[in-house]
Structure 1
Amino acid sequence: MKLSDDFDARRLRPRQPKHWRLRIGAALGALLATFGILLAMAGIASLAGRAPVLGTLNDSTGEAGVLLLLGLLLLWAGIAFWRSCRRRLRQPRDLALSPHLLKKRD
């Protein structure tokens, strides 16, 4: 079969999807985790009796405990969001073959 001069094999392949949304999501997840670490550290410092980190926001031990729990919750949510975005970034976008079509191994 003769190929013509204007044949381009790249047109036959599907375009790779752009991953910028997932990259931005992973960055936001990392920022949430960082903010959660900082809030948890502020709550721990306030519970330990150090100088108040956030001014009058955490004067009592109850408010310091709320800061600690909020920081740990943000840390967990940020890590979960970051991991889900990273998992979706690493998924293969190719066609998958059925196992019965693969080469038989004895």
Structure 2
Amino acid sequence: MKRSDGFDARRLRSRGVCSWSTRMALTCAALLVLCGAALSAAGVAALLGTHAMLGPLNDSPVAAGLFAIIGLALLSVGVMVWRSYRRRSRPGNDLNLAPHLLKKRH
């Protein structure tokens, strides 16, 4: 016989509280990733000489390489910050059940 009245499965797992500081940090990390991807793409495109609209980047391969390296650095820092905050915000995988409700193993 099933008893489903009053049962809420969402109570079994606790939700972590996401504060505004965490949201702002995740937003900044996402912006770092986007800026890093754009800078590295512009640097690589200038190194390959495919886009003439990048201006002085096409004239100097050193500047183009520097842009690509700075873009990759920003990309990696953004990904590391994003992953650390996401890992911190996730709760453990254990259920919040009382010990007397768990299955007994004999």
Quick check: 51-60 or 26-35, which moved more? Answer: 51-60
C-alpha distance in structure 2 between counterparts of 1:75 and 1:53, whole Å? 23
Aligned pairs, number: 83
1:52-91 deviation digits (Å, cap 9, x = unpaired):
4543255211110000000000000000011111111113
Whether the 8 Å contact between 1:35 and 1:75 is mirrored in structure 2 is yes
Q: CA separation in 1, counterparts of 2:68 and 2:77?
A: 14
Give 1:23 deviation, angstroms.
1.3
Mapped to 2, the partners of 1:17 and 1:39 lie a distance apart of 34
Change in Cα spacing, 1:58 to 1:24, as seen in structure 2 (3 Å) is farther
The one-letter code of the counterpart of 1:56 is: P
Whether 1:41 and 2:41 are equivalent positions in the alignment is yes
**TM-score, normalising length: structure 1:** 0.65
Q: CA deviation at 1:51?
A: 2.9
Unaligned runs of 5+ in 2: 1-15, 93-102
- AA partner of residue 78 (structure 1): G
Unpaired segments ≥5 residues, structure 1? 1-15, 93-102
Cross-structure match for 2:60 = 60
Identity of aligned residues (%): 43
Q: Equivalences for 1:1-106 in 2 at 5 Å? A: 19-57=19-57, 59-91=59-91, 105=105
Q: How big is each residue's C-alpha offset from its partner over 1:22-50, in whole Å with a ceiling of 9 and x where there is no partner?
A: 11101110110010000000001100112
Structure 1 residue runs of 4 or more that deviate by more than 4 Å after TM superposition: 103-106
